[in-house]
Amino acid sequence: MDWLEGEIIGFDKPYRWTSFDVVGKTRWLLCHRLGYKKIKVGHTGTLDPLATGVVVVCTGKKTKCIDELQNHVKEYVATLQLGATTPSFDLEKEIDATYPTEHINRQLIDEVIPTFLGEQWQIPPVFSAVKVDGKRAYKLARKGEQPELKPKRLVIDEIEVTAFDESLMQLTIRVVCSKGTYIRALARDIGQRLHSGAHLIQLRRTRVGALRVEDCMQFEDFEKLIDNSDITKEPSTRH
């Protein structure tokens, strides 16, 4: 494989890794195992640290493909806890409010979930990388500020219920959506349309474009791939 000419790799991101951790680990392995002095490495779409699944990484000249790859549709499997909210809309922050759930049943869920199909306008989470007056929203939120975020247009191509545990009030859905969709914000919105609250307790990105998570590499596999590479390890020939 020619990493400088460019390769596109799919990783199954570990839990609590950031997308930048994935990029940094990839770059470190390429430089330290193969002797590159420097190499371009980038990802094609951020995945929250508390999520797992597909992160696409480009190296070398293939980093020019990042903008195009970012536009690919994404598929997620998400589990929501109904009846409670958190400021981050997931498990990063503690529960800040609870809501009634006695009225929620499978019939109501089956009525509400299809209303999210098609074009939607979504307000991003405050704890996100969206910029407000040149500053990241999450940095402002961590200072106790409440930045005003504008709704963004997105498209949900598919959404379906895959499981509902009425005793635990936990709902699992599969979502196929456009670039820029925050599944945490979708969890918030589902809770509101159920006349309750909700937050994300588990998220896995299962597909980006045609690349499925079962076809992605673990980092252990990537290390073996590099170690078995027949490319020259002389740094003097690689710049």
Indicate the pairing of strand 52-59 with strand 198-208.
parallel
CB-count exposure of residue 73 (10 Å: 0-12, 13-18, 19+): middle
Among 2, 12, 21, 48, which one carries the catalytic annotation? 48
Q: Which residue carries 């027949």 as its tokens? A: 230
Name the nearest CA neighbour of 5 among 36, 33, 28, 50: 36
Within 10 angstroms of residue 163's Cβ, the number of other Cβ atoms is 11
The 3-state DSSP composition of the chain as helix, strand, coil percent (nearest 5) reads 30, 30, 40
Amino acid making up residue 19: S
48 is catalytic: yes
Give me the active site residues, please.
48
